Amino acid sequence: MVQSEVKFISGNEACAEGAFYAQARFYAGYPITPSSEIAQIASERLPTLGGCYVQMEDEIASIAAIIGASCCGVKSFTATSGPGFSLMQENLGVAIMGEVPCVIINVQRSGPSTGLATSPAQADIMQCRWGTHGDHAIIALTPSSVQECYELTIRAFNLSEKYRSPVVILSDKTVAQMREKVILFTPGEVELLERKKPTGSPGEYLSFRPDDDGIPPMASFGDPHLLRITSSTHNEQGFTDDDPSNAFTLIRRLYDKIEDNADDITQIKTYFMEDAETTFITFGITARAALNAVHKLREEGNKVGLINLLTMWPFPACKIKEAVANCRSLLVPEMNLGQLVREVERACCAKEVHSYTKSNGKNIFPGEIIQAWRDSL
Amino acid sequence: MALIEHLTQEYLRTKKLPHIWCPGCGNGIVTAALIRAIERTGYDQRDVVIVSGIGCSSRAAGYLNFNTLHTTHGRALAFATGLKMARPELKLFVIMGDGDCSAIGGNHFIHAARRNIDLNAVIINNHIYGMTGGQHSPLTPTGMKATTAPRGTLERPFDLLVLARGAGATFAARGIAAQPRQLEQLIVRGATHKGFSVVEALSPCPIAYGRRNKLGGAVEMLRSMKDSSISVERAAETEDAELKDKTITGVIYSFDAPEYAEEYYRSISDNKG
């Protein structure tokens, strides 16, 4: 039996390891702190795996290049941080509209603009959801540990292939650069998903005709089946089509194929929820502080619990509602001026929801969460 | 006639016709030259990918029966770079307009040239943003009018092929819609050249550019395009003073240099060995 490898690495290194495990073989990127380690590792490792690393002229080109590579059937990814993620919004839309699988790792840092270069933040929640224009859905995963960086990156590629969709990993500066123990999977230990390929004859294949699950099989450039990808509103053939009913059918399908599968896509981790009267709901590095706060408060006999969101989008509303069914109140600590709390309020409008925010480039500490909890009583 | 029939059935998505281009537009002539050029290269249809940006010119991709990747304004070369690096055996033709390539896409253009990656850029230069209603582009000649230059533009235009040369391109040619056979040959030469190739195709836009500048209709614009052009061979024997207002056509430069995708994969296999 192959022994699992145990390593002591950073979150960024774990993201890269996860990508390689998922068979990602193409990386294009542009240097930016605090994500650059991922590019450096990709430039070292991908050539040894027969893959390709390209350093592009900017982040607009980086995401363009991974979309182009993915259209050839090669699992592709890029990594960036706030200013670069802003530039990527344009072609993130192409990946959504063209239904091209790819993974974008956004290591969040403090903004707006250049901001506190380079201090942690968790303020790209809404940019990630709505940053590219127009109606659309997005998948975004939020790791809170180095192990989760590794596992969620593998999951990101799987979801990306399964749903023919871009997937964003919303990491943060602290998680990305801290070092922890991580247990790497052995080959075959985790199932790796591949995009559906067309099964019919090349003459019958339409690049955007969905199966019953709402997801069209995807040929690769160079296959016998011609592939037509477009950023314009299109019909099943991939031809620009401005008929209103066609436009609505497409926009609805692109949205529904993600949102209707929220149960499959979303994951939350719960702690001490059996008898919790107050639940902390958070994600990323703040979930680590919150867990520490929960432990301390439990030692004093307080009935508090924690939900750590591993998926930000689609928002795991149903799973949260179910988990907090017996709670009296919720407290949402986050490193921004209150983005997640609004979603929690929408999902749990019958509950008493408290917010604790911090937006100064510093992590939230357990003591602050404990104090916020006391203040909410 | 049989050849035209064959090319039409094989390489055009005839059900998508008629096209959206205005009467007198040169895009159809350039697109036809591209189709004939691809036929002449003998490339397998499945190995060809047409990548385009946004604008009138980029709509050509929709009518072509190949693999197509219709992207965002100015970004076609960036998408094509990833595609080529992932699958170097594919044959890529990147159709762009003048504003698409040289304004919003200018950064991608110079870097594709710098890498000398084996992409075949076909730039349809009609000196204007057509689809958005006739605004001036970086290739609009100084003094010419546009909807955003009602008194004539004060800006100086790029010479696209000189720009490409400075950035590292290894092949550049210029053709005109008035001479489609030459244009076809130039696209073939660009396609068979290993490295980044640029073919600039001058094309009339009577509606958004010609009318405002009193250049006449399509026929007059094509005629003056032809009259003001001179082949690179003849230009070599002509005094500089006489070339002042001339458009030089043909292969402007072509030389060998390491191609990026090939170098990359060679370096990988060297390291493995």
**Mean pLDDT computed over A332-344:** 98
Closest approach of A278 to chain B, Cα-based (Å):
48
Record the tokens describing residue B253, joined without a space: 């430069």
pLDDT at B252: 98
List the single residue in B54, B79, B111 with the smallest CB-CB distance to A57.
B111
Domain that holds residue B153: 2-272
B98 Cα to chain A: minimum distance (Å):
19
**Interface of chain A against chain B, CB under 8 Å?**
26, 28, 47-48, 50, 52, 54, 56-58, 60-61, 64-72, 74, 76, 90-91, 93-94, 221-224, 226-232, 238-240
pLDDT on residue B2: 82
Of A60, A224, A229, the CB nearest to B69: A229
> Given CB atoms, is B64 within the 8 Å cutoff of chain A?
no
Q: Which residues of B touch A50 (CB under 8 A)?
A: 268
Residue B210 per-residue DSSP state: I
Query: Taking CA A52 as the corner, what is the angle to CA A188 and CA A41, rounded to the nearest 5 degrees?
Result: 75
CA B113, CA B111: separation in Å to the nearest integer?
5
Read off the pLDDT of each residue in A244-255 and give the average, rounded to a whole number.
98
Tokens read off for B1 = 């006639």
Indicate whether A27 pLDDT > 70: yes
Nearest residue in chain A measured CA to CA from B86:
A69
Q: Do A52 and B69 touch (CB under 8 A)?
A: no
Closest CA to A311 of A88, A139, A81, A78: A139
Residue B189 has φ and ψ, to the nearest 5°, of -60, -45
Question: Do B69 and A71 make contact, defined as CB atoms within 8 angstroms?
Answer: yes
Cβ density class B23-58: b for 16+ within 10 Å, e for less:
ebbbbebbbbbbbbbbbeeebeebebbbbbbbbbbb
Band of the pLDDT at A22, cuts 50, 70, 90? very high
- Domain count of the fold of chain B: 1
- Domains along chain A? 1-265 (3.40.50.970), 267-376 (3.40.50.920)
- pLDDT tens digit string along A188-206? 999 999 999 999 999 999 9
Burial of A272 (0-12, 13-18, 19+ CB in 10 A): middle
pTM of the predicted model over 0.90:
yes
Mean pLDDT of the residues in chain A:
97
Tokens 């960086």 sit on residue? A149
Question: Which member of B54, B61, B107 has the closest CB to residue A58?
Answer: B107
Q: How far is A176 from chain B (nearest CA, A)?
A: 26
Please check the confidence at residue A245 and state whether its pLDDT lies above 80.
yes
| Residue B16's CATH number | 3.40.50.970
CA distance A324 to chain B (A): 44
Q: What is the pLDDT of residue A369?
A: 98
C-alpha distances (whole Å) from A24 to each of A12, A102, A154, B247 are 15, 9, 9, 48
Q: Which of A208, A246, A203, A244 minimizes the C-alpha distance to A226? A: A203
Contact between residue B153 and residue B146 where contact means Cβ atoms under 8 Å apart:
yes
Better-predicted residue by pLDDT, B270 or A162: A162
Q: Which of B58, B81, B95, B111 is the best mutation test for A, with the most CBs of A within 10 A?
A: B81
pLDDT for B3 equals: 83
Please report the pLDDT score of residue A202 as a whole number: 96
Q: Is B104 on the interface with A (CB under 8 A)?
A: no
A362 close to A122: Cβ distance less than 8 angstroms: no
Q: Which residue of B has its CA nearest to A92?
A: B72
CA A74/CA B85 separation, integer angstroms? 11
Q: What is the pLDDT of residues A40-59, one digit of tens each?
A: 999 999 999 999 999 999 99
Q: What's the confidence (pLDDT) of residue A314?
A: 98
Contact B79 A68 (CB under 8 A): yes
**Would you call A60 and B268 a contact, using CB atoms and an 8 Å cutoff?**
no
A73-126 per-position pLDDT tens digit: 999 999 999 999 999 999 999 999 999 999 999 999 999 999 999 999 999 999
Q: What is the pLDDT of residues A292-320, one digit of tens each?
A: 999 999 999 999 999 999 999 999 999 99
> Residue A135 and residue B155: Cα distance in Å, rounded?
38
Give the closest-approach CA distance of B244 to chain A in angstroms. Answer: 35
Question: What number of C-beta contacts closer than 8 Å exist between A and B?
Answer: 128
Q: Whole-angstrom Cα distance, residue B230 to residue A300?
A: 90
Nearest chain B Cα to A203, which residue?
B65
Task: Please report, in tens digits, the pLDDT of each residue of chain B (273 residues total).
Answer: 688 888 888 999 988 889 999 999 999 999 999 999 999 999 999 999 999 999 999 999 999 999 999 999 999 999 999 999 999 999 999 999 999 999 999 999 999 999 999 999 999 999 999 999 999 999 999 999 999 999 999 999 999 999 999 999 999 999 999 999 999 999 999 999 999 999 999 999 999 999 999 999 999 999 999 999 999 999 999 999 999 889 999 999 999 999 999 999 999 988 764
Residue A160 to residues A153, A187, B83, B122, B162, Cα–Cα distance (Å): 10, 20, 18, 33, 42
CA–CA gap between residue A214 and residue A212 (Å, rounded):
5
Helix (H, G, I), strand (E, B) or coil at A341: helix
How many angstroms separate the CA of residue B214 from the nearest CA in chain A?
33
Q: Which of B79, B90, B268 sits opposite A67 (nearest CB)?
A: B79
Answer whether A65 sits within 8 Å of B59, measured CB to CB. Answer: no
Percent pLDDT > 90 in chain A is: 99
